[in-house]
Structure 1
């Protein structure tokens, strides 16, 4: 049923988005249409990556979901950078961290916990990810903010470039560690029992759907970015709220759905890998890449967040670590993460 709804939304939304963009229809209406269209296209990307992931195992499957889920947000952010909306981009990165850790992680634990009293996932992966989260968010994001107080803007941007290069190198090293040199070393029977699932689509069809959906998302995303200013004035929203809540949810719709479905199927290793792995990818790859890409635009984007953004991200990291390092979850832990997300959402709305 849900797949039919998303198919209809995509089939109607793409041509309407093209027509609305070319004919300059009211931007407030088009904002809603663009968002719904991107969410529908993201669902196809999620289904395609899930088909590819069935034969790849939970780690590579989670990485695929996180990568193509973040591709949507990366595309939106690049067009936002091109438009000079660096505040929206930084806010959307903040929203991705909060959304993946608290909203996606919380919903996964909550929905899965309603069906199963306890769910288990790899404690070794959880502890490994915890150290990377602390490095990526607490160290790499906080340091530029502190040092920027004593630096000129040009020096701050140079520091941001250096931090970005280090983050990208460390992220690639982390993937090499998990998928090559230490693949399977820490499992010890903690993986879910393998089920012989048949992929929904063949490999060729899944790759074709990914390519077409990504191109469509790129077009709709560029149009979406141009509606931000009008929507902000119409609804009284700030750029911060649009970035933290709206862009983050729309941009990460694919992995949101995939993680929740995996948790409901009691495949919590995949769900956690999507939620936490996506956060690490945003912090250690997407954000640094955007800093480097901003070199080619008139307005550069240093890796310097506002104090509320930093406090929210650091808090979400520590509460996630507190919940996940024991290797099991239940619905109440999920509800705790969701409550933290709602509190922060209210704060960003009123800010």
Structure 2
């Protein structure tokens, strides 16, 4: 969710090309009475136009996507919490209700990127693309559930790199069975380097803790985590400049067999809604996700007890699958259209954003809230991340993919999921 799926080469200099409101203002200048106020016919016309714009926008954002059939699960979770109180049911209903909201949030961000240009659009995607995971993490931090935050963010990285990318490689390989699909190798190498840097940031606090070599017990580990988080945020900011400004050409997609008309069709796409409509939907959807996330976080412990499932499995496997639902579908769709660079950006780009922005951001937020969130993800989780990054980096070296590489990644994810199902978190005890 966290990348620009459609690369825009031309900035939109005039919003009036896409905004029906500005079009009406050009063609129908409002008549005023002698006292300077709008006349009643024009006031009525403006009201009717506003209503039609709202209905049109709701039709595009809400009714257009079939995934929005799952929206009633959200209100159902709130009603069950209020009248029934079964936390296991509240958790699963909240989980299902967040899926369409997360997908529509990505859609609204995509629409806004048409108007902002590539640089600001990239920042918006970094901020809102993984908004679901970050909102859940902030509510968990407020509740003091540091391990849930760590494991859900870790799970998002693992899910994107193994499950999402694996399904994209596998489905694309099945569709294009007799050839190997290619992607931009240079961009993949840069992202792999950033992911290894993130592993380094998480590895040293864990090693410091388990070797008992802290200069000040209980303080050095937290201080190192906060310092490393600031460095990682700085590195991610530099990466945005590198990707979207100074070395933009490095991220041009590989389009070996595409005709000129196919290559330019992506740039000619127009937004479905106006800029202010997109901003309004971002606010509304973020608020809805925030409400459901609070119910979701509160029900995690109860769901773990009622289902007999470890909290670590819920945090690492179930929560990230919901947050990555939209990315999962998009990556597969683009891979089946032989647009593997976009699929790679969806999967690996989102993992990079979570590891270099999401995790350090939560450490800083915890610092502000007075919560001792650190980068010590425990040895088990850190080992899972290290081996995942290593496997994916090796498979990306050649710049090609096929169905067997995708199958390997999916099977690796199944091993990871099984490992966390039998893993007992030493801090949570479940």
TM-score using structure 1 length: 0.91
Match of 2:208 among 147, 157, 163: 147
Question: Higher mean Cα deviation, 209-218 or 295-304?
Answer: 295-304
Match of 1:215 among 287, 304, 312: 287
In the alignment, structure 1 residue 240 sits paired with structure 2 residue 305: no
Q: Conserved in 2, the CA contact under 8 Å of 1:141 and 1:305? A: yes
CA distances 1:30-75 after superposition (whole Å, capped 9, x unpaired)? 1111000001111212333344457889998787556433110000
What does residue 324 of structure 2 align with?
252
In the alignment, structure 1 residue 124 sits paired with structure 2 residue 196: no
Match of 1:135 among 197, 203, 209: 197
CA distances 1:277-321 after superposition (whole Å, capped 9, x unpaired)? 111111111101111111244541111012121111111101111
Match of 2:228 among 154, 158, 163: 163
Q: How does 1:268-347 map to 2 (within 5 A)?
A: 268-297=340-369, 299-347=371-419
Q: Conserved in 1, the CA contact under 8 Å of 2:77 and 2:89? A: no
CA 1:295 to 1:62, structure 2 compared with 1: closer, same or farther past 3 Å? closer
Q: How does 1:184-195 map to 2 (within 5 A)?
A: 184-185=249-250, 187=252, 193-195=263-265
What does residue 84 of structure 1 align with?
144
Question: Higher mean Cα deviation, 235-244 or 189-198?
Answer: 189-198
Higher normalized contact order (CA 8 Å, seq sep 6+, divided by chain length): 1
CA 1:295 to 1:159, structure 2 compared with 1: closer, same or farther past 3 Å? same
Q: Which runs of 5+ in 2 are unaligned?
A: 1-62, 424-430
Q: CA deviation at 1:93?
A: 1.7
CA 1:123 to 1:247, structure 2 compared with 1: closer, same or farther past 3 Å? same
Larger Rg: 2
CA 1:198 to 1:71, structure 2 compared with 1: closer, same or farther past 3 Å? same
CA 1:200 to 1:143, structure 2 compared with 1: closer, same or farther past 3 Å? same
Match of 1:20 among 58, 80, 85: 80
Aligned partners of 1:3 and 1:63: how far apart in 2? 26
What does residue 158 of structure 2 align with?
98
CA 1:312 to 1:59, structure 2 compared with 1: closer, same or farther past 3 Å? farther
Task: Give aligned pairs, total.
Answer: 349
Q: CA deviation at 1:199?
A: 4.0
* RMSD of aligned Cα (Å): 2.6
What does residue 299 of structure 2 align with?
227
Aligned partners of 1:322 and 1:88: how far apart in 2? 30
Q: Conserved in 2, the CA contact under 8 Å of 1:34 and 1:221? A: yes
TM-score using structure 2 length: 0.75
CA 1:88 to 1:215, structure 2 compared with 1: closer, same or farther past 3 Å? same
